[in-house]
Chain A
Amino acid sequence: MKHKHRIGVFKFASCDGCQLSLLDLEDELVALAGAVDIAFFPEMSSNMRSGPYEIGLVEGSVTTHQDAARIHQIRKQCQNLVAIGACATAGGIQALRNWSDTQQWVNQVYAHPEYIQTLSMSTPISGHVPVDFELRGCPVNKYQLLELVSAALAGRKPNIPTYSVCVECKRRGNICIAVAEGVGCLGPATQAGCGALCPTYSRGCYGCFGPAESASSTILAELLIAQGHPSDEVVRAFRSYNACAWPFRQAAEGKGLT
């Protein structure tokens, strides 16, 4: 029998939404399950087999000492390690702690803070081990995830564009809400991949796919402020799911709020 690629899916600090994109594939799931051996995916099956794996999909950021050690073990077992989602690629929404006193938050939030052990920062997987590919999004686009696996199986480069959301938005035939309605939209500075989902429904892009290849985040932040969007709103817009991705971080910090 032909050898099937073994896939492991690993969770770090996250909401599970990206792993769920795999299960959410529905129509394609049967074909996927037939084409690969999903050897380790606790969310799907309690039959968890040990490595090595040809492809490791890692969701979530590193926020504890245990996880900081565990990611090294996983790296050793995976021929190709792919970070999936904003948490794994940029630290996620939980990276907002990176601008504050984590211990103080722990004391405020938990009845028994003495039981909580956590790192002061939430960091992406690439901050700890070399990563072969980063798939963006909060959550990732399930078709991009499928494309990534299909490309790995075919031995080709995945077709994951890095240009702006605007390109997808225009190809889709949307009327630009930034220009026609004055809506604050992060699309020009955000990487494509979602199919311009939010602008299609008349919402400004939230930047959940992180910075586009041309890191124009700072220019966009300044532009939005010049157009009358309050600067604290602009800072918050860049400081969400991908707050710690460098161009977004720069855009927000440049506005004088740290």
Chain B
Amino acid sequence: MDQRGYEVLGPTIHDSAISYGPIHAIEDLPEGWTSEQGPGSYRLKRRTDGALFGYATGPKSLKNFLHPSEIKLFTAERTNGTFRILSNDGLAPRRAFLGVRACELAAAGVQDRVLIEDRFKDPIYSQRRAGSIVIAVNCSDPSSVCFCTSMGTGPRAKAGYDLALTEVIDGGTHEFLVEVGSETGADLLAGTEYSEASEELRRKSDEVTARAERSIQRQFENAGVAELLKENFDHPRWDDVASRCLACGNCTMVCPTCFCVTVEDMSDVTGDHAERWRKWDSCFALGFSYIHYGSVRLSTKSRYRQWLTHKLSYWHDQFGESGCVGCGRCIAWCPAGIDLTEEVAALRAAAPAEKTNGGGE
């Protein structure tokens, strides 16, 4: 990969989580580590085997690299009375992502739909996306927050990868089944030492997936949720969740499909140098709904409702699919441990008879 000019990013132990970092050798992978996750909680744990990919997703996703959290759009300078816009930084590094999970691939598909295939194509995302190689690893150890099976996105990668690996550990053997998903993938594989997979390895790899599927506890009833949310704009559950929500925005930051950004201009003290920056924004920020005279969504209730209804309901109207892939990040990385599957279940269980359009607030 290095020789081909790719920077390899894959699972590394970074502070107290397994997260994308530079990979130069196998030793950089989190051998023998896993994660234990729950609402508002993530802990690294030791495993008894030497699995390299025996964990579920951490807080970062491809979004962190393809849709950068902060990026300078341009610099402008005033010299001798003329105003010039200076050219941007060079091309983004070409990256190979290793250990991408099925839900993340699905999330990248959702972002493609928004940032490439919609009316306005985002050049920053498009260029980074086109220059990436994706080596997926099928999940063997989902965490308690995962619900990809409910969303039909995992735990086995279906498409969108260049190569997909399944790690098979059985007694004394430690093998990988490799599936090729693209020409680039075939080309990559050709440069390595491999042998034709045996029937037995294929069967064992299917077992890994079947076991992973069975171990997923979290259920989410996706059917009809778009309508459910539209019909329950005034449900008392929104007040309930607002009494627990910190409006901190962590859920939107870690969600691999959330794409909202804000654009900020700055000028220096001389007034001769200006920059325009793009940064991740969040519908939990007051300024997010700022229009002339003030913000529309003042209460935490209205902001939580915006987040959930956009993800699960309006996303369908806008982009023809759900904005949620069931990765569980917003559950684990919410400091208050708010769980969207539980919120939706509560809305469903006690949908009130009275239905109104409700006011803003």
Residues of A within 8 A of B (CB): 28, 31-32, 34-36, 146-147, 149-151, 153-154, 156, 159, 161-164, 166-167, 170-182, 185, 187-189, 202, 212-214, 216, 219-220, 223
Contact = CB atoms under 8 A, between A and B. Distances in A.
A149 B278 CA distance: 22
A167 B14 CA distance: 19
B269 A163 contact: no
A163 to B, nearest CB: 4
A83 to B, nearest CB: 21
Contacts of B73: none
Contacts of B41: 179, 182
A154 B267 contact: yes
Contacts of A202: 15
Given A171-B253, A214-B284, 13 more contacts: A28-B269, A31-B270, A146-B268, A159-B266, A170-B250, A171-B70, A173-B60, A174-B15, A178-B335, A180-B16, A181-B16, A188-B336, A219-B245
B69 A173 contact: yes
Nearest to B16: A180
A163 B285 contact: yes
A153, A181, A214: residue with the most chain B Cβ atoms closer than 10 Å: A214
Nearest to B262: A161
A104 to B, nearest CB: 37
B271 A223 contact: no
B282 A167 contact: yes
29 contacts: A31-B269, A31-B270, A35-B270, A161-B287, A162-B287, A163-B249, A163-B282, A163-B284, A163-B286, A164-B248, A166-B248, A170-B69, A173-B64, A173-B69, A175-B14, A175-B19, A175-B59, A176-B42, A176-B333, A179-B332, A180-B42, A187-B335, A188-B336, A214-B284, A214-B300, A219-B243, A219-B244, A219-B336, A223-B336
Nearest to A151: B267
B43 interface: yes
B267 A156 contact: yes
B247 interface: yes
Contacts of B253: 166-167, 170-171
Contacts of A164: 246-249
- In the complex, the 4 A-B pairs of residues with the closest C-beta atoms, listed nearest first: A188-B248, A170-B253, A214-B247, A171-B69
Contact of A34 (B243, B270, B287, B334): B270
B280 A31 contact: no
A150 B269 contact: yes
B56 to A, nearest CB: 14
Nearest to A152: B269
Contacts of A150: 266-269, 271
B254 interface: yes
A236 to B, nearest CB: 19
Contacts of B100: none
Nearest to B15: A175
A216 B286 contact: no
A175 B16 contact: yes
Interface of B: 14-17, 19, 40-44, 58-60, 64, 69-70, 243-250, 253-254, 264-271, 279-280, 282, 284-287, 300, 303, 332-336
A214 B246 contact: yes
Contacts of A172: 69
Contacts of A36: 269
Nearest to B300: A214
A63 to B, nearest CB: 32
Contacts of A174: 15
Contacts of A213: 285-286
B284 A180 contact: no
B250 A31 contact: no
Given A162-B286, A171-B280, A153 B269 contact: yes
A244 B160 CA distance: 54
Nearest to A174: B15
A31 B267 CA distance: 13
Contacts of B60: 173
A179 B249 contact: no
A154 B271 contact: yes
A170 B256 CA distance: 13
Contacts of B282: 163, 167
A170 B287 contact: no
Contacts of B17: 175, 180
B69 A188 contact: no
Contacts of B246: 164, 188-189, 214, 216, 219-220, 223
A71 B163 CA distance: 68
Most interface-central of A28, A166, A172, A189 (chain B CB within 10 A)? A166
Contacts of B44: 180
A178 B14 CA distance: 15
Contacts of B286: 162-163, 213-214
Contact of B250 (A34, A153, A166, A216): A166
A182 B41 CA distance: 8
Q: B40, B247, B303: which has the most chain A beta carbons within 10 Å?
A: B247
A185 to B, nearest CB: 7
Nearest to B264: A159
Contacts of B70: 171
Given A164-B249, A179-B42, A202-B15, A149 B269 contact: yes
B92 to A, nearest CB: 16
B284 A170 contact: no
A7 B181 CA distance: 64
A187 B243 CA distance: 18
A156 B58 CA distance: 40
B238 to A, nearest CB: 15
